Copies of this chain bind each other. A is one copy, B any other.
């Protein structure tokens, strides 16, 4: 029989989970006391928090415990990077039913730890509770290393809009899963699933935010930055509103790649929809002064102009709740 959380009990579970977490250099006091103590060398700390609920933010039949761990960590660590900070620590409240397998919980811990490691951070504390469904409350912290935080409100006409990371791929992967066309696709591509599609499903399961680009954009003098979690048009819309500018996107720079186009053709979808409105890839998008040296691995996708809202090659692109095809 596979052991469940109820079999193991709370204290043994905590012991087993925390044993998976390597203590990073910023963790001064780790799990096990009333609270943890984290280094904040810059004398300021960047903090963000998110809830992830089973059935709303992930499905256990579509994502493994490791996947959910990666995703939960990534979406918070990306927010830290989007301020221009280096991620340092992650704190995880975890609630689950007593009949959840211990293996799933340990896989979750492994995913959290691995994603933190890829961002240079570590899991430094948490909380465990019982619940009817799995839920996670994740908080990430980061260090600004002496730089000013990069807000959404600083974009200026003349800035170039630069994208790091992918957009639309996680949404396409979710569409494939929803259509029953990617359910069995392993991250490394299984038989029957086109290798390109497996990459889309993987993008849904384990987004790969470009963490180092957050500090790199800040160091390059970015005037504004955010992570793309609700879709490119909507998130850039927040920058446009906060900065009182217009952001015009370049259609050519946002052309969908082969896997996106073939998946869209198969599902009868518009790949540009995914690119413009798909969240959860956790790309970073920054507005840089035109004189800035654009960091390697990024692409200019638009420019900042006087005005308001987000436009696509000069035509209105934004509707409430995401992109709407221009009339």
Question: In the complex the two chains form, is B35's CB within 8 Å of A83's CB?
Answer: yes
Least distance between A239 CB and chain B CB atoms (Å): 10
A267 contacts the other chain (CB 8 A) = no
Contacts of A142 in B (CB 8 A): 35
CB within 8 Å for A33 and B135 given contacts A95-B53, A129-B56: no
A279 CB–B CB distance under 8 Å = no
What residues of chain B lie closer than 8 Å to A57, measured between beta carbons?
Answer: 129
Q: How far is the CA of A222 from the CA of B33 in the complex (A)?
A: 15
Determine if A152 is an interface residue (Cβ-Cβ < 8 Å): yes
The complex places the Cα of A151 from the Cα of B140 at a distance, in Å, of 23
Dominant secondary structure at the A interface: strand
The contact string, 1 if C-beta is below 8 Å from chain B, for chain A 16-54, is 000000000000110011111111111111111111010
Q: Which of B32, B126, B140, B141 contacts A45 (CB 8 A)?
A: B141
Instruction: Write out the residue numbers on chain B whose beta carbons fall within 8 Å of the beta carbon of A135.
Output: 51, 53, 95, 131, 135, 137
Is A121's beta carbon under 8 Å from chain B?
Answer: no
> In angstroms, how far is the closest chain B Cβ from the Cβ of A41?
6
A29 contacts which chain B residues (CB < 8 A)? 83, 149, 151
Chain A interface size, under 10 / 10 to 19 / 20 to 34 / 35 or more: 35 or more
Once A33-B151, A35-B83, A37-B83 are accepted as A-B contacts, the answer to whether A141 and B51 lie under 8 Å apart by CB is: no
**A137 and B51 form a contact (CB under 8 A):** yes
| Cβ-based interface call for A93 (8 A) | yes
Interface assignment of A178: CB less than 8 Å from any CB of chain B: no
A119 to nearest B CB, angstroms?
14
**Most B CB within 10 A of own CB, among A36, A40, A140:** A40
Considering the chains assembled together, what is the distance between the CA atoms of A39 and B47 in angstroms?
11
**Whole-angstrom distance between the alpha carbons of A40 and B47 in the complex?**
11
Q: Provide the A73-86 mask, 1 if CB < 8 A to any CB of B, else 0.
A: 00000011011010
CA–CA, A71 and B159, complex, Å: 46
Are A127 and B50 within 8 A (Cβ)? Answer: yes
Q: Which of A99-115 contact B (CB under 8 A)?
A: none
| A128-161 interface (Cβ within 8 A of B) | 129-131, 135-142, 144, 149, 151-152
Known: A29-B83, A41-B43, A42-B43. 17 other contacts (CB 8 A): A32-B152, A34-B152, A35-B48, A35-B85, A35-B140, A37-B44, A37-B47, A38-B44, A47-B125, A51-B93, A51-B94, A51-B129, A51-B131, A51-B137, A53-B135, A56-B130, A137-B137
User: Which 5 pairs across A and B sit closest by C-beta, in order of nearness?
Assistant: A137-B137, A40-B40, A35-B48, A51-B93, A34-B82
Q: Could you jot down 10 A-B contacts, CB within 8 Å?
A: A29-B151, A33-B83, A34-B227, A37-B149, A48-B125, A49-B137, A51-B137, A53-B95, A53-B135, A137-B138
